């Protein structure tokens, strides 16, 4: 009998069709009732799961009897209880590298939009308010030649640094759990303590993965260290930042602006951030280009097929059983 694969979020339609050719597919749909109840039911006799953006842990996959792999269509894997998966001997795979450049592009989009007040000026223009030239309250911050502080000089952090260094002649400073000497050399990037980076940078971009050390890494104390003209960007994960402290820093004009792609609770439905004109809010679209989403889906497909054909998936996140 065909192996059973559970699709737990929307995935690329061509990849879904390829999966359907090989396996018995169960496609979950949150519009058809409680998604966790659907997962608990579907996973019982499933061999594999594929998707992104759902919390998977003991509460909804404990019923799995022969699950071999969860193939995540993402690079971040903070949605999954890795210890529990190790205990159950379920592989977890992800899709790194293919989304690095497009996510770095988005970080720069946010940086530039927030610095130059793009959304509010776009709105202003469309409202027909442009009767004479803009006034000083509508001026932005210069980007070229400024200091870019990157927290988390991993794959995406390095791609952001490259844009800043080569594209905008920026002085790069970075903070990471450990120094990244070789990567940093490419952009003449200086290693700093978190405190020193926050004090010095004109632009602060967060690009760490979410883990026990990076949770709530940036809070009220950290915003207090930043410069009044600083622009803060988060493309990592919402829980790296204390969102209330960020909101207050923006409300009090303690920093100039922020550009956000990620939030403590997603989807962001209601938020005091919506009342502010100095924050750009995007709906977690770091990797959301047609090309990249296709590559991620293909990679997740390959990870899944490998696991079901007794090969170790290329991008395994947890232990190899
Ligand atoms: P990566 O290569 O693993 O880079 C993460 C970097 O963060 C590593 O250099 C790591 O340091 C550093 N780090 C982790 N915790 C830290 C801490 N507490 N303090 C300082 N540095 C810390 O991952 P990546 O591919 O660049 O992706 C980074 C994250 O971006 C992903 O995990 C994901 O959550 C997020 N992301 C978001 C989107 C989006 O749509 N917005 C898209 C893609 C990715 P070490 O060298 O010590 O490990």
pLDDT in tens, 201-235: 999 999 999 999 999 999 999 999 999 999 999 99
Which of 184, 207, 211 should be mutated for ligand 1, with most atoms under 8 A from CB? 207
Q: Distance from the CA of 236 to the center of ligand 1, in angstroms?
A: 7
pLDDT tens profile 89-104: 999 999 999 999 999 9
Atom of ligand 1 nearest to the CA of 209: 32
Model pLDDT, residue 85: 97
Find the 78 Cα to ligand 1 centroid distance in Å.
11
Whether the CB-CB separation of 127 and 277 falls below 8 Å is answered with no
pTM here is 0.94
Beta carbons within 8 Å of 290's beta carbon, 6+ residues apart: none
Write down the pLDDT at residue 321: 81
pLDDT digits 0-9 by tens, 146-180: 999 999 999 999 999 999 999 999 999 999 999 99
pLDDT attached to residue 319: 86
Torsions phi, psi of 203, nearest 5? -130, 130
Q: Which atom, in ligand 1's list, is nearest to the CA of 217?
A: 18
For residue 163, the model assigns a pLDDT of 98
Q: Which residues contact 320 (CB under 8 A, 6 or more apart)?
A: 91, 312
- Per residue in 107-128, pLDDT (tens digit) is 999 999 999 999 999 999 999 9
Q: Which residues line ligand 1 (CB under 6 A)?
A: 75-76, 96, 99-100, 103, 151-157, 175-178, 207-211, 213-214, 217, 235-237, 261-262, 284, 286-287
User: Which candidate in 54, 155, 163, 284 is catalytic?
Assistant: 284
Q: What per-residue confidence (pLDDT) applies to 320?
A: 86
Cα–Cα–Cα angle for 195, 196, 199, nearest 5°? 85
Measured distance between the N- and C-terminal CA atoms of the chain, rounded to whole angstroms: 24
- Is 192 in contact with 175 (CB distance < 8 Å)? yes
Residue 1 has pLDDT above 70, yes or no: no
What percent of the chain has a predicted confidence (pLDDT) above 90?
Answer: 99
195 is catalytic: no
At 231 the three-state DSSP class reads strand
Please state, rounded to an integer, the average pLDDT across all residues of the chain.
97
d(CA 271, CA 244): 10
- The mean per-residue pLDDT over the stretch 235-249 comes to 98
User: Tokens representing 143?
Assistant: 């980007």
């Amino acid at each position: 009998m065909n192996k059973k694969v559970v699709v737990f979020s929307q995935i690329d339609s061509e990849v879904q069709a390829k999966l359907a050719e090989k396996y018995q597919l169960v496609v979950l749909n949150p519009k058809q009732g409680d998604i966790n109840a659907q997962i608990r039911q579907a996973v019982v006799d499933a061999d594999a799961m594929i998707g992104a953006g759902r919390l998977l842990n003991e509460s909804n996959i404990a019923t799995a009897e022969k699950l071999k792999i969860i193939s995540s269509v993402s690079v971040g894997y903070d949605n999954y209880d890795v210890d529990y998966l190790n205990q159950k001997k379920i592989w977890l795979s992800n899709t790194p590298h293919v989304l690095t450049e497009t996510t770095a592009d988005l970080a720069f989009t946010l940086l530039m939009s927030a610095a130059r007040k793009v959304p509010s000026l776009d709105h202003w223009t469309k409202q027909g308010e442009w009767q004479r030239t803009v006034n000083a309250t509508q001026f932005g911050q210069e980007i070229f030649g400024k200091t870019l502080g990157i927290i988390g000089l991993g794959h995406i952090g390095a791609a952001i640094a490259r844009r800043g260094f080569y594209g905008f002649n920026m002085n790069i400073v970075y903070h990471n759990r450990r120094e990244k000497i070789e990567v940093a050399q490419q952009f003449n990037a200086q290693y700093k303590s978190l405190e020193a980076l926050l004090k010095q940078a004109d632009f602060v971009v967060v690009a760490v993965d979410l883990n026990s050390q990076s949770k709530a890494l940036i809070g009220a104390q950290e915003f207090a260290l930043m410069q009044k003209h600083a622009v803060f960007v988060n493309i990592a994960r919402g829980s790296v930042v204390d969102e209330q402290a960020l909101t207050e820093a923006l409300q009090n004009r303690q920093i100039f602006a922020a550009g956000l792609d990620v939030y403590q609770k997603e989807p962001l439905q209601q938020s005091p951030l919506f009342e502010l004109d100095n924050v750009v809010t995007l709906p977690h679209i770091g990797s959301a280009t047609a090309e990249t989403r296709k590559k991620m889906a293909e990679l997740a497909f390959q990870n899944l097929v490998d696991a079901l054909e007794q090969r170790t998936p290329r991008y395994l996140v947890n232990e190899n059983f």
